[in-house]
Amino acid sequence: MKVICERAALLEAVNQVSGVVASRSPRPQLTCIKLTATNDAQGAELILSGTDAEIALSVRIGRVEVEQEGSSLVPADKLRQIVSAEDNEPTLTIESTGETTHIRGADAHFQLHGFDAADFPQLADFKEVSAGSAASPAAKSIFSLDAGTLDALIARTLFAAARENSRYAINGVLLVREGKKLDLIATDGRRLAKSHATIDSKGDAAQCILPSKALSMIQKLTADENELVHIAVTDNQAVIVFGEDPTDARATLSTNLVEGTFPPYEDVIPKDQDIKVTFNRDVLASAVKRAALLTNEESRGVRLAFNGGEKSLELSSRAPEMGEATINVELAGYDGNDIEIGFNPAFITDALKVINDSEVTIELKSGNKPGLFKAGGDFVYVVMPVNLS
């Protein structure tokens, strides 16, 4: 293999693929990136692929000159370090012979010892997954949406997913597709975020749990919000491709699905709240951030005291040996009785960061019942209260 490529494009692709490569593995091939140079009727390109056996990513670079087709398997960390260090070079030449790969700039020559490219695992192909084969049935659901919509759905839910919880199902995000309706739902047991979008695709319904790592990778791969993203879901895998034509994708991400049963999320979302508060997102975000300054590990909660008559909110916090804070906020609207309730301030600020609408609504029932945040008609967020006594 011998290929000359633009260093900036190569570095971007190496950084993206490195995100799925295993940092340690009994199979050293999984700590590597596979480089494949091709030159056919569609043009010359370099494909970079990596996997940790759970998630896999392939990225294609078109701005290359392929002098000899072929493949090589090189350690991902060293490849990234070398391409990053050659920051004065507009192009780099990559040449491989057997298990040795040479990377050359104008005044530098790096020789990397890798592995046989044939030892790299076969990665999922969108076309094959969609159509099925003798070994596996066709995808049970295939649909498309623009990258901006998908990125927004992920941003408004991923933050609420559990981290390293023994209930593996909530370590991921639930995807529910019914016709043109697409929902993403995440929970860690103390809060739940649900985001909704309407898509153009028709087709069979699907429900699966996507791992958080895969969703984070999708966000990193989103370059153009108008770019089309195609998703194929099987019983145990999802394949996501970026580009107008799914058979000629800019990037292909495949991931195993999270096993287990996701909690009955519809039962968690309150439906009988009788207090409704409307406020400006930025005003509340500022107040919560300031009130949180005087909280600690033992006293994490911020008290929210709503006064319907004055349409005001008093936020207060208190931490032993630190002091107390009181913040007053005017409300845009209030309907219902006065109420006091405590929340973890981080849970509120996490949601406000991903809400684009300037107006946000909180619906409440009582001081010991969950609060329901709503924004824009496509986002709901349930937060359990904390005991402040």
Summarised one tens digit per residue, pLDDT across range 277-321 is 999 999 999 999 999 999 887 778 999 999 999 999 999 999 888
**Which pLDDT score is estimated for 333?**
94
35, 41, 240 from 70: Cα distances, Å:
8, 16, 26
Say if residue 384's pLDDT is above 90. Answer: yes
- 339: amino acid identity, one letter: I
**How would DSSP label each residue in 300-369?**
--EEEEEETTTTEEEEEEEETTTEEEEEEEE-SEEES--EEEEE-HHHHHHHHHH---SEEEEEE--TTS
Tens digit of pLDDT for each residue in 2-55? 999 999 999 999 999 999 999 888 999 999 999 999 998 888 999 999 999 999
Digit-coded pLDDT (tens) for 152-199: 999 999 999 998 766 788 999 999 999 899 999 999 999 999 999 999
- Specify the pLDDT at position 330: 93
Specify the CATH number of the domain 126-266: 3.10.150.10
Q: What is the mean pLDDT of residues 224-231?
A: 95
Provide the whole-model pTM: 0.93
Domain definitions of the chain by residue range = 2-119, 126-266, 269-383
Q: Please report the DSSP string for 243-272 in residue order.
A: SSSGGG-SEEEEEEPPPS----HHHHS---
Please, are residues 223 and 143 in contact by the beta-carbon 8 Å criterion? no
Instruction: Tell me how far CA of residue 366 lies from CA of 66, 116, 302, 384, in angstroms.
Output: 67, 64, 16, 11
Per residue in 87-122, pLDDT tens?
999 999 999 999 999 999 999 999 999 999 999 999
**Would the pLDDT of 389 be above 70?**
no
Q: 42-54 in b/e burial notation, b at 16+ Cβ within 10 A? A: eebbbbbbbbbee
Same fold, 126-266 and 269-383: yes
| For residues 359-375, average pLDDT | 96
Per-residue confidence (pLDDT) for residue 209, from 0 to 100: 97
Cβ(76)–Cβ(16) below 8 Å: no
* Average pLDDT of span 132-153: 90
> pLDDT above 70 covers what percent of the chain?
99
- What pLDDT is attached to residue 214? 97
> Across all residues in the chain, what is the average pLDDT?
94
295 touches 325 (CB < 8 A): no
Residue 384 burial (CB count, 10 A): 16
Domain 269-383 architecture: Roll (3.10)
Where do we find the tokens 């340690």?
24
Domain at 2-119, CATH homologous superfamily = DNA Polymerase III, subunit A, domain 2 (3.10.150.10)
